[in-house]
Amino acid sequence: MPEVQRRITPADILSPGEYDQQRKSLKANLIPMKKLRRIEVGPFATFYFENYASMWLQVQEMLRIEKGGEEQIPGELAAYNPLIPQGEELIATLMLEIEDEKRRNAVLLTLGGIEETVFLEIGDDAVRATPTEYDDRTTADGKTSSVHWLRFTLTRDQIARFRSGGERVVLGVSHPNYGHMAVLSAESRDALAKDFA
């Protein structure tokens, strides 16, 4: 499955029968790629950097679960195509993963606006993430969602420096109640660099 394709089309979608037959091997084949695109920042923020392959699998899974047939396909493509990087960006799903429900609710109440505090540093250069075009993920009472979609738009120079491996790349969150950073491994950088044109 191509990692660098930029858009899922109806022609890319397998029929339910075909997908069920291939599902186990398709999911297994994506595990190594997805592992390199998963970055933990602090105790419970995990970033899943999306691409064509991850979104294609998500569309197939939604079609399998909801069983909406051909009529469902346009809606799924409209929802997931915007999460495929288009050559000058990285796009990540941020999951705030706290198993205990009471603790999760309490913590999420302290993290309003966390989606506005995410950054990527390439050497001394900081790239602020911007939330994707989805609804506001923080409610009026200050509670944030446990899922956010974020876009990092890089300049050509930043992309070249990201690819070169000569400078440290750091993914971080600078929220007053959640300040954590993680240095990207060379393997993860190489995997994410495929998102750039």
Containing structural domain, residue 66: 10-193
Q: Is residue 78 part of a domain?
A: yes
Q: Examine residue 34 and state whether it is found in any structural domain, yes or no.
A: yes
The 3-state DSSP class for residue 59 equals: helix
pLDDT digits (tens, 9 = 90+) for 36-70: 999 999 999 999 999 999 999 999 999 999 988 88
Q: How much is the average pLDDT of 60-89? A: 92
21-45 mean pLDDT: 95
1 has a pLDDT exceeding 60: no
Distance of CA 14 to the CA centre of its chain: 23
Q: For residue 126, give both structure tokens.
A: 């900081």
Q: How many domains are there within the chain?
A: 1
Tokens representing 178 are 């959640």
